Amino acid sequence: MTAAGIVRGFAGFALSALVMATAVVFLPPVELIPVAWWLEMAASLMMVRGGFKEADRRVVIGLVIGSTLGLPLGLALTTTLPAETSKLIALIVIIVLAATQLAKIRMKFLATRPGLYGTGLVAGIVTGLASVGGMVVALYVLAQDTPARKMRAALVLFLFLGSIASMITFLIFGIMDQMAIQRGLILALPAAFGVFLGQALFTARLEGYYRPFCLSLLILLASSGLVRLTM
């Protein structure tokens, strides 16, 4: 969890994706998603000040609206699919999204208003399915050639506001139970320590390296998870 927190503090996203990529082999996504919420909230509380200061708030609000609408759809899939199928989908989603960003594939449609809300909707669906909505939002930001610092700020603010809306949905679906709360609170401390270390690493000298590093790590971890599931 500390390692995932370091990546979150450095890149502004990928904490949940790293948790899903490594822990989905042991627990189904429907149990991991509410745990990841506590980790994301702990990280967001530590980083949100910079997000409010540097992020494009209009864009972030649009993404949050779309995500809030898409989240119930993703959770509906996660709670109805067999556990093994849900695990496979979660890992494949991580690999595809990471590979797309690593290849620097730019989709001009994403820079439009329909693209804004559409991205938020897809982010909500994959958050409910695999808790990797931040990666979808990162793909949207990439399409606009946003500087690394502003991209990081937008992701931080999106994850903070999106987490508030997500809690309501989790309670409605009944997946934020006592076990999820206990697991989340226990794991939040090492994750928060990692975020502190990761923030210290985010310097102007290293900004150019953060994206390829995080995406390559995600592909490696998710691929390893797929191998373990199919063995």
Say which residues have a Cβ less than 8 Å from residue 30's Cβ, sequence separation at least 6: 75, 78, 79, 83, 86, 175
Residue-level pLDDT at 51: 64
Residue-level pLDDT at 66: 93
Closest by Cα among 24, 49, 72, 66 to 195: 49
Residue-level pLDDT at 142: 66
Looking at this protein, which amino acid is placed at residue 126? V
Separation CA 53–CA 39 (nearest Å): 22
Residue-level pLDDT at 189: 92
| DSSP letter assigned to residue 110 | G
Residue-level pLDDT at 24: 73
Separation CA 77–CA 211 (nearest Å): 30
Residue-level pLDDT at 186: 92
Pair 170, 35: CB distance under 8 Å: no
Residue-level pLDDT at 17: 75
pLDDT, block means (10 residues), the chain with 231 residues: 79 76 78 87 82 79 91 85 74 76 72 86 83 75 71 81 83 86 91 88 74 75 74 68
Separation CA 120–CA 220 (nearest Å): 26
